[in-house]
Amino acid sequence: MGKAFDFTLILEFIPTLVKYLGITLEILFFSIILGILIGLVAAIPKIFKIPILKQLVTIYISFIRGTPIIIQLFLVYYGLPALFNLFHIDLSRVDALYFVIITYAISNGAIFAEIFRGAILAINSGQTEAAYTIGMTPSQNFRRIIFPQALRIAFPNIGNSVIGSLKDTSLAFTIGVMDMMGRGETLIASTAHALEVYISLSIIYYAIVIIIENIFKVYERYLNRYQPDEISAV
Amino acid sequence: MNKRAIGVKRMIEITNLKKNFGPNEVLKGINLKVNKGDIISIIGPSGSGKTTLLRCLNYLEKPDEGIITIGEVSINARKVHKKDIYTLRKKSAMVFQSYNLFQHKTALQNVMEGLIVVQKKNIKEAQEIATELLRKVGLEHKTKAFPSHLSGGQQQRVGIARALALNPEVILFDEPTSALDPELVGEVLSVIAKIAKEGKTMIIVTHELNFAREISDRIIFMDNGVIVEEGSPKEIFVEQKEERTKQFLKRMVPELDYSI
Ligand SMILES: Nc1ncnc2c1ncn2[C@@H]1O[C@H](COP(=O)(O)OP(=O)(O)OP(=O)(O)O)[C@@H](O)[C@H]1O
Ligand SMILES: [Mg+2]
């Protein structure tokens, strides 16, 4: 397939593809922010063992975990317009980008819900009791005592999810979103240099992942500042 | 008690306090009155309900029945309002066996937390109060340390400073030294003794019988969910009337035998 390998094309492709990084980061940013909000809300029924809601959240989480993201993407892309059609609302002109963001937000939400639940339950109840005995309310306790510490515990997992999510955005092109991957596909169609395109894409994705990882590491060190020395030194 | 016999003021009154955990009757109708400024020690075997009694006093545990009065705040377990619980909690502070410091806050921030969040003091004022309290417990050089970087004894002294910060009328101690290495017990007990001299009302659950004997105005002996016997340290440690008290003391301090 394709033409003879041409190394110099990579240097040519990278700048072309990077121009579409903005779309990729846009998908990532909004799906993470919305995912965190969904995750916080979805974690509540399980933490406080609220009947019915708890079961619903469990089904949601297990469904997301049990199905490939690309299928979730198609379900949303075809399912949402079908659903809105029932109410005579036409979604056919809505930008495919929004379907991508919605899908990834729902998917991240399920993962974040589990991360948050684990992190919150990991904080010993003694601190909550101490907060109550000095007269703090449950919401003050959550905001000032539990949440900051849960964040530290959840942080490495949040970092992994962000990176995983970045890589998942490369599936957005399947419903016609012109992100880096989408642009790469059109480059292949027009130049027939598939390998050079994919090498260029992998270099860009890899570089972004390294940058994100390092940002997370710096913040993780800050969050660990109050840990016993052997942990905070890592 | 007689040192404050004139003008005594009632600080705490517990009437018919009952608490079950499932089928397990843990408190079987406790009645207790504590005057302002009294130092009360609660002793008794493991599982007798001492911790549960303390935890009911600030509604960390909700009693099934009974009336708890601290100062002018009174709650009947039959009809409790959330607001009453907050008011009751502000009357007392608790020092925990396992310290329960806020792990993500420095020693100073631990003490400041209630001042800022509950008493709405500004940062500067809270800092001054907290610094002063840490000096009082001998930790002026550790204000910026996080709990995980402090020894058990130091953590517990921060816990005591945190309890003192809101200037509560009553301080509850639940075995404040029993999680500590033996060589660290002394530093914590001496801080407690120092506060005791300042006239705060204190209830201390402890297995440190010598300490209880020295600082208490009154000793309460609990067993199996009831107060078996109460009286001055001399009445309990030397002239105890109940067989159960005798047995307990014999087990705890065999060397006390001579005084029986
Ligand atoms: N949250 C709980 N759920 C169920 N049972 C409990 C709970 N807390 C305490 N108990 C039971 O209540 C009884 C009294 O416990 P409590 O902790 O008040 O005893 P204690 O006198 O403080 O004992 P120790 O000296 O060991 O601290 C015990 O039988 C204990 O198992
Ligand atoms: Mg106990």
CB atoms B118 and A136 under 8 Å: yes
Q: What is the CATH number of domain A7-232?
A: 1.10.3720.10
User: Ligand 1: does its nearest atom lie under 6 Å from the Cβ of B199?
Assistant: no
Q: What is the mean pLDDT of each run of 10 residues along chain A (234 residues)?
A: 81 94 95 95 90 95 95 95 91 90 96 94 93 94 94 92 93 92 94 94 96 93 81 50
Tell which phi-psi region holds residue A161, choosing left (phi > 0), alpha (psi between -120 and 50) or beta.
alpha
Give just the sign of the alpha carbon dihedral B127, B130, B134, B136.
positive
User: Ligand 1: does its nearest atom lie under 6 Å from the Cβ of B46?
Assistant: yes
CA angle B152, B153, B154 (to 5 degrees): 90
Side chain identity, residue B136? K
Gap from CA of B27 to ligand 2 centroid (Å): 13
Tokens 């500042």 correspond to A225
DSSP A144: I
CA A188 to chain CA centroid, nearest Å: 28
* CA pair distance A156, A218, nearest whole angstrom: 12
Q: What are the sequence ranges of the domains in chain A? A: 7-232
| Closest to B216 (Cα-Cα) out of B226, B205, B224, B225 | B205
pTM equals 0.84
Q: In chain B, positions 93-122, which contact chain A (CB-CB < 8 Å)?
A: 93-94, 96, 98, 100-106, 113-114, 117-118
H-helix or E-strand spanning residue B24: strand B24-35
B117 contact residues in A (CB cutoff 8 A): 136, 140, 144
How high is the pLDDT of residue B7?
A: 66
| Residue of A125, A134, A229, A232 to mutate when probing chain B, most B C-beta within 10 A | A134
User: Ligand 1: does its nearest atom lie under 6 Å from the Cβ of B178?
Assistant: no
Phi and psi at residue A133, to the nearest 5°: -65, -25
How high is the pLDDT of residue A1?
A: 53
Q: Are B107 and A141 contacting, i.e. CB atoms less than 8 angstroms apart?
A: no
H-helix or E-strand spanning residue A11: helix A7-18
Query: A213 to chain B nearest CA, in Å?
Result: 24
Residues lower than pLDDT 50 in chain B? 1-4, 258-260
How high is the pLDDT of residue B1?
A: 46
Torsion of CA B50, B56, B60, B62, to 10 degrees: 130
Phi and psi at residue A82, to the nearest 5°: -60, -45
* A145 close to B (CB below 8 A): yes
The minimum-distance atom of ligand 1 relative to the CA of B205 is 22
Gap from CA of B46 to ligand 1 centroid (Å): 8
* CA pair distance B106, B212, nearest whole angstrom: 31
Give whole-number Cα distances, A110 to A24, A43, A58, A146, B133, in Å. 21, 9, 9, 21, 45
Tokens 């107060």 correspond to B227
How high is the pLDDT of residue B260?
A: 43
